[in-house]
Amino acid sequence: MIEPLHNFPVQKDLVVDIGDFMEKLARVKPWIISERERALEEGEYLQKPEELEKYEQFSACINCMLCYAACPVFAGDREFIGPAAAALGYRYNLDSRDEGANERLDLLTRDAGAFDCTFVGECSTVCPKNVDPALALQRLKIDGALTSLKSLMRRGK
Amino acid sequence: MKSKQTLFEAIDWGIFSIGGILAAFLLPANIVVTLLLQQPIPRGPLATLPALSKLYLFILLVGVAWHAMHRIRFVLFGFGLSRYRRGVTAAAMVALALIIVFALEVISSL
Amino acid sequence: MSVKEPSRYWWLRRRKYIAIFLRELSSVFILAYVLLYLLILAQLQSGVRGLVTQFAMVPFVALSVTLLAFSLYHSITWFLLLPRIQPMKIGKIVLSGKLALIANLGGLVVASLLIASLIYGVHILSAG
């Protein structure tokens, strides 16, 4: 059966409104965040193959939105940040060139963030590029929990 | 700079995870022994140290309750109640608090 | 021009999703066990005739078996989920999904025997 992508507002026939999806992708700050501007003379960022390997699978997303269409959490709550955006944000957190992991982690773990995921796992099942956004979401939960624990212990001192 | 929401969700999820492990490994045996074999009171060799069996019961029951309450809360969100997020979360926390108090009372006087 | 959208809960009609919904539902049953057990303990202490004897046998056993079934379903689905985050290893060998499940079920059996005998005093090896 041919039908429009699930969980998105249908404009007409098979065309859905992807505005919300695009906004979420931008919201996770999908760019290298640096403490300071690099001068041109410093040259390009250097990255070893092992450092690339850490985030490579999460960078394979083609923005097809199948994961959002498959997610029952997103079906019930359109505010949910969703698999692709979370995986994209996580990709940058894992990038050795990036220095904005804490900032990104915080915005990814707020209300309607990673913790809303109930690990249904269908997002990863339907992903045509094997990005495994479900894994990104669970790792974000773990990272979020661990940094919260650390910040609590620091406050206690 | 952690927002309070994040902190709360993170801690809730952490305890949920621990509760999940406890439930996964320990709950089936507990159900068989306490309901089907009808032996609800700890009488084994470890129960001679009453503090130990009480601790076991408290950690298991509260952990499982927390785990369950977290799942229930998010199932409700998935069914559209996420627009009443604060209310649902508050209700879940109150219910959990009541269960913890009940558990403390019952287990401590064993 | 807005078009009427199909139901948000389209997934409730797909088998895979129903299995996961049941997994989430199992939490209601395990919560029910916690409350039931606490009530049984409370009643035993206050000397009131226990919940166990107030229930007729058959419904009580039916309820217990249902709770056990959902508890096992919770355990199995949990064991299937965790290796997707952190693959289980024995030494350097990574266990596949099915092997990891079996290993965890083995752990469940061991933990069950320990709890039953050490905490509750059930005689596992009694001759009968």
Instruction: Give the side-chain half-sphere CA count within 13 A for A142.
Output: 11
pLDDT score of A157 more than 70: no
Q: Which helix (H) or strand (E) segment is A15 a member of? A: strand A15-16
pTM: 0.92
| Closest among A129, A111, A11 to B86, alpha carbons compared | A111
ipTM of the complex in this document: 0.94
Looking at residues B19-47, what average pLDDT do you find? Answer: 94
CA–CA separation, A30 and A37 (whole Å): 17
Mark yes or no for CB contact A77/B80 under 8 Å.
yes
Mark yes or no for CB contact A142/C81 under 8 Å.
no
pLDDT at residue number B48: 86
Measured between CA atoms, how close is B20 to chain C, in angstroms? 8
Query: What tens digit of pLDDT does each residue of A21-80 get?
Result: 999 999 999 999 998 888 999 999 999 999 999 999 999 999 999 999 999 999 999 999
**What token pair was written down for B3?**
């927002």
Domains of chain B: 4-39+46-108 (1.20.1300.10)
Instruction: Give the side-chain half-sphere CA count within 13 A for C45.
Output: 13
Confidence of residue C3 (pLDDT cuts 50, 70, 90): low
Mean pLDDT over all residues of chain C?
A: 87
Mean pLDDT over all residues of chain A?
A: 94
Task: Please tell me which residue of chain C has the smallest CA distance to A142.
Answer: C85
Q: How far apart are the first and last CA of chain B?
A: 44
pLDDT score of C53 more than 80: no
Percent of chain A past pLDDT 90, that is, above it, reads 85
Domains of chain A: 23-30+46-156 (1.10.1060.10)
Sequence-distant (≥ 6) Cβ neighbours of residue B19 within 8 angstroms:
B62, B63, B64, B65, B66, B67, B68, B70
Lowest pLDDT segment from A23-37, C40-54, C55-69? C40-54
Query: What tens digit of pLDDT does each residue of B100-110 get?
Result: 999 999 999 88
Mark yes or no for CB contact C81/A119 under 8 Å.
yes
CB A31 within 8 Å of CB A92: yes
Mark yes or no for CB contact B82/A112 under 8 Å.
yes
**DSSP assigned state of A112:** T
Mark yes or no for CB contact C37/B34 under 8 Å.
yes
Measured between CA atoms, how close is A111 to chain C, in angstroms? 20
Percent of chain A past pLDDT 70, that is, above it, reads 99
Mark yes or no for CB contact B46/C118 under 8 Å.
yes
Instruction: Give the C-alpha distances (Å, rounded to integers) separating A108 from A52, C48, C50.
Output: 22, 52, 49
B interface residues, A as partner, C-beta within 8 Å: 1-3, 5-7, 9-14, 17, 71, 74-75, 77-80, 82, 85
pLDDT at residue number C127: 45
CA–CA separation, B23 and C100 (whole Å): 18
Q: How far apart are the first and last CA of chain C?
A: 75
Pairing outcome for strands C93-94 and C89-90: antiparallel
**3 state SS of A16:** strand
pLDDT score of C1 more than 70: no
Q: Which residues of B touch A71 (CB under 8 A)?
A: none
Lowest pLDDT segment from A123-127, B50-54, B61-65? B50-54
Lowest pLDDT segment from A46-60, A101-115, C17-31? A101-115
Measured between CA atoms, how close is C110 to chain B, in angstroms? 9
Looking at residues B59-75, what average pLDDT do you find? Answer: 97
Query: What tens digit of pLDDT does each residue of C79-91 get?
Result: 999 999 999 888 8
pLDDT at residue number A103: 93
| Helix ranges restricted to H, chain A | 19-27, 49-56, 66-70, 72-76, 83-93, 101-108, 122-126, 133-156
pLDDT score of C128 more than 50: no
